[in-house]
A and B are shown apart, each in its own frame.
Chain A
């Protein structure tokens, strides 16, 4: 409930339609893509310009009111979960593409612009925005920056942090700050990198300059089958170790292949233990040469079948199964829990073997669908929450995967962010000296801890405790949306 005076002050900034307080109006904002957590905010604010954002933040700062910024609400880690005592600041009305500079290959966009809309708008210039989270038809660029989103093609073209050059944001004090600049580098501390992936804890983003790339003239995909999962993992290392960075390199294991094939009929080889999808892009000559190398390496690595896409339609078909993996999984299991651990690529065979072993040990099937080139795993532990003890077993299984990811030098989250979901896992990855630096930085930006409180970085006290959560199919929002 908003205090009447505070409400009145907000009403001087926003028209009634942009200041939602009734339960039926705030309900759609009670969770994001991680639906296990729900919270009703005191209000949802829908500003439409930066001056309003500034005024709102000044007001919230003075009143010590928590603020949770929100883009499209597709976060998988609870990044946009409201705070019960605070307001949700939706950037949904910031939907303009402000400028496109085809010569500098940049575009200036507002944070509510959809990821894919940038590529659509710049296509007439032969340009596109490279990071492509699977939810790109819905997710907003502001959210991408806040989470440092990845995607299939970030293997070759980098994450969000590599593809933005300037971010304009508003601090909790209402001050506007420009992070980064329009050229290759920018003087002083790399505040742009600090803001990128800060999960809304440091500033509210109001404008972004993204880098654009010329569309590759040609792309071809190879579908490579293996009769052994570990061998497929080693094949990934063989390609990278040969110095080849494909445009994309994704892996699916047999449970995933079977689930997906029933769903999209991409003609995947059902008897394979694992398939790799490897994409090459560039000029036709470069692609041909790279694909020849890849074919040779895959044959040497023990591939049982290699199919090259004959045309654009077939390339898209190869990818269709990968993109639909999330929705497909829902058809074979009542619930699943997705892990986002990321490891050095050379550790892939070891980690995949361990997951296979634990799957048998816990009696829980696990489907692997992931960004193999980056070493970004997405094991989906399949379970049934209605069966006694399965949640606990799933949690224990997931914990062991993440602990192994840390042990081999990896991280607990490659691209989904910490949010509220992985706060406990952070305690395993970072020691107190490291967590203290995180808190010191937060304190330098937001001394009262008002921006997105309780997310991303666990308190030292919390690290004494431990718990875990899972995602259930029944509670998933936008279930039709491609993910991961």
Chain B
């Protein structure tokens, strides 16, 4: 248990020149070193801290990915997998330079099997693209992080979204993977069978490993039938506590709500302005969606209205037409951008606490008080049905004191969630920003994670410096 991950430095200039030359020879215009492209690949969303790769390459096949990784493995040059760069915790920053493997051109839906309710896609397919290609099959893929991320990136960060309370996260919805290992071999994990007891669960080990254990190139996914009936509604509350208590009671009763989203007064104010939502006040608000048969969805919504009534909630505002529903959820998905628009010129990042539902009220209310006391602009939005919520913390990038204050607030959010039996990250992952919180959360298990990293990537070339502390 003393194994540590091999410490890294940037590769030597000679090694970089060699690998750039080799990649240029093999991939021509698909190996790029221009400043603008390097800059674009040096950061994700969230904190703008940038660390440039030495070269960006755009592979098209599993075999090309394997060949590139073999090359890097030979010379111990870092390899960082990149989808569309929407991750929030600095996952794609090339801390030690190296090769950025941009998988966005591996964007084919390889197979859709309606009878099995599954599909297989390349890593660069985005979630919106997948659902567009599923049109007409009567099926959909529910996981919907705010950004239009790639499926590969979503698998790598174990992403979730507004539907997780009903459909689970990427953990539950990835059936199998094709992965290129650190030494450039192509392995397949899982399969199309719905369950397997054969061997260790490598599928779930790679899901959420943030490109540090292997490069995910193909993903088998579960799909779902589009529900016969979808009802969406909005309910506003006099105070935050009433809204959160509503959620807790609904979960306790086991109402199979498909989406239940909390927006605090500040976030509602931001969304009303940014997405031009009409007829709603800047008050703590819940967005609901009910899926099922006609009778089932209606019954769920009636049960929910009874609970909100008991907590001082307003009458439901229904979004009955599909376009109204789309507008509502677009507004929700744009919450991060709406929050950023509250203070132009400021930067922001999102916290990602997730706690057991029995601690949700304590955690949200303490966090709200903490945010208010900090004097920072920090709206709350979250998938509260599964105990996950975000604080979008804004700060002035030119004011180091304000940035420090923002980072302190975020740290307190993580530690508060951990102290309540929860996690510092429900869906965004660790990246570079939550390494300390990971240790606080997992203690001895972090040593095991390091051992696993060392076992699967002994040369520490895969996304070095992320996910597990050195």
Contacts and interface: CB of A to CB of B under 8 A. Distances in A.
B295 A182 contact: no
A286 interface: yes
Interface string B1-15: 101000000000000
B193 interface: yes
Nearest to A412: B198
B204 to A, nearest CB: 3
B225 A242 contact: yes
A184 B354 CA distance: 7
A36 B439 CA distance: 46
Interface residues of B, number: 95
Given A214-B254, A444-B448, A189 B197 contact: no
Interface in B350-365: 354-359
B356 A106 contact: yes
A187 B442 contact: yes
A418 B199 CA distance: 7
Interface in B165-222: 168-169, 171-172, 181, 185-189, 191-202, 204-205, 207-209, 213
A161 interface: yes
Contacts of A175: 1, 444
A182 to B, nearest CB: 4
A contact residues, range = 35 or more
A342 B196 contact: yes
Given A184-B388, A185-B427, A194-B204, A375 B194 contact: yes
Interface string A167-210: 00001010111110111111111110110111000100000000
Interface string A430-468: 110110011011111100000000001100000000000
A117 B181 CA distance: 43
A429 interface: yes
A241 interface: yes
A162 B356 CA distance: 16
A147 interface: yes
B455 A193 contact: no
B458 to A, nearest CB: 9
A194 B199 CA distance: 10
B77 to A, nearest CB: 22
Interface stretch (B109-117, B143-151, B392-400): B109-117
A107 to B, nearest CB: 12
A281 to B, nearest CB: 11
Interface stretch (A48-56, A299-307, A343-351): A343-351
Contacts of A415: 195, 197
B225 A193 contact: no
A24 interface: no
B195 A159 contact: yes
Contact of A444 (B187, B193, B452): B452
A479 to B, nearest CB: 23
B142 interface: no
Given A344-B192, A411-B193, A437-B456, A183 B356 contact: yes
Contacts of A276: none
Contact of B442 (A178, A185, A290): A178
Given A193-B201, A289-B293, A414 B426 contact: no
A417 B186 CA distance: 25
B446 interface: yes
Contact of A411 (B198, B205, B358): B198
A414 B425 contact: no
Given A154-B195, A443-B455, A187 B357 contact: no
A340 B198 CA distance: 11
Interface of A: 101-106, 147-148, 150, 154-155, 158-159, 161-162, 171, 173, 175-179, 181-191, 193-194, 196-198, 202, 213-214, 237-238, 240-244, 282-283, 285-286, 288-290, 340, 342-346, 373-376, 405, 409-418, 422, 426, 429-431, 433-434, 437-438, 440-445, 456-457
13 contacts: A103-B358, A159-B195, A175-B1, A182-B355, A185-B427, A193-B171, A286-B293, A289-B295, A346-B116, A374-B193, A374-B195, A376-B194, A429-B199
Interface of B: 1, 3, 113-118, 138-139, 158, 160, 164, 168-169, 171-172, 181, 185-189, 191-202, 204-205, 207-209, 213, 224-227, 248, 251-254, 256, 292-296, 299, 354-359, 386-388, 417, 421-427, 429-430, 434, 437-438, 441-446, 448-449, 451-456, 467-468
